[in-house]
Amino acid sequence: MPVHPVDLAEPGWRSDPFPGWARLRAAGPLHRTVDGAWLVVGHREVDLLLRTDRVGKDLRRLRGYADLRPYGRDGLAEHYIEQWMGVRLPEVHAVWRSLVAPGFTRRSVAGLRERLIQTADDLLAAAPAAKPSRVGGSFDLMASFARPFPVVATALALGLTDVGVERLAGWSRAITAVLEPDAEPAARRGAETALADLADYLRVQLDDRRRRPTDDVLGRLTAGNTGPHAPFDDDQLVATVLLLFLSGNDTVAGLIGNGVLALSAFPDQQDLLRGRPDLLPLAVEEILRFDGPACIALRAVYQPITIAGHDLAAGDTLLLALAAANRDPDAFTDPDRLRIDRRPNRHLGFGAGPHACVGTGLARTEAALALSALHRHIPRTRCDPATVTWSDEQYQRYPQTLILT
């Protein structure tokens, strides 16, 4: 265990966390943060804790949660976040996944490919530095491409096609600012307004699906949730759609941004990918391992469990450092090098076990199509790492701005 508790609020954990993760792994698989949470950095231990039923996503079980009310007391953010927690409980989680997961498999997403390819081409054609002549200077990849692209993709998968991308993106930006505990008051106020507007819109959409069934995720949710024994009430359905809409946007935007940075840092791998586009699916997996946007998974200990000789009690807070686990030399050869043809690749970028990300099929497709479009429009992606600004979230790591020239 380290002499000093770890302070994940320090700026270095955003800009370049990997030397710090390496130091912690060398000292042992478990550590404590300045807030008293358990920080788990070893691949074996993180994988085990993602899969066991002794820990889970119901953060209401955290010691002190009822007093702290970390998502804002009696607000919409707290209400819907706690509804999300409710549909992830063991007794209903399997039913929830059975309704949601079929809409996000690669096979289901295949029907969206042509529209997504066109969307990617349109977004990049409008960016000055993406034009074939490369005349016109630089552009911010995140604002011009990486953020709007997944919003369109998620809206198509869910069936939210009657509202503009800008409005959806605005809701997404405002609400995701409070998905981590202890957000700033100004962010909470903006999120409350956005949540009210988006929830009202989703209720109208769900009511419409009840009258006119559709073959999209919203249609499946409403069709599978009818009758006197329906597993979810309307608030839980709205919370589910909110979760599905919000969780994919920043994650995929971050995956695109982190992927461009990684490929820019390893030009030999960028050249290999251009020459071998068949490696795109493997490249996406390697980017998820090398620098996945979801760097920490927050969990609550449900039942006492012993990990690496340490006894964890019910109510303890667990921070599972996916980013550290994904570069563990005990699990990966040459872990600090990007290798787009890496096999096998047991990364934890989408989590693992019963709570693994339900939207992986869509996310993988989006990332592959985005990288393919960038290769078509830009002969070589170049960026100056010194100009990158990073998101200030603790549990996700991705560029806030990323200027390509």
**Domain extents for the chain?**
12-404
CA–CA dist 181, 78 (Å, integer): 10
Q: Closest Cα to residue 373, out of 144, 165, 137, 170?
A: 144
Bond into 344 cis (ω within 30): yes
Question: Can you read off the two tokens belonging to residue 279?
Answer: 């490696």
Confidence (pTM): 0.93
Residue 287: predicted pLDDT: 98
Q: What CATH architecture is 12-404?
A: Orthogonal Bundle (1.10)
Which residues, 6 or more positions from 253, have their beta carbon under 8 angstroms from its beta carbon? Answer: 142, 146, 147, 149, 150, 293, 398
**Segments in 267-311 forming alpha helices (H):** 267-275, 280-291
Mean pLDDT by 10 residues, the chain (405 residues): 77 91 96 96 98 94 90 87 86 84 83 93 81 58 94 90 85 81 79 92 91 86 80 87 86 95 94 95 98 96 95 97 98 98 97 90 95 89 83 90 88
**Helices assigned H by DSSP within 164-216:** 165-176, 185-211
Query: Where do the H-state alpha helices sit in 88-164?
Result: 90-100, 106-109, 113-125, 141, 148-158
Which among 34, 82, 36 is positioned nearest to 58, based on CA atoms?
Answer: 82
The confidence score (pLDDT) of residue 137 equals 59
pLDDT at 131: 52
What pLDDT score was predicted for residue 130?
53
Residue 159, helix vs strand vs coil? coil
Question: In this structure, what token pair is assigned to residue 87?
Answer: 């549909």
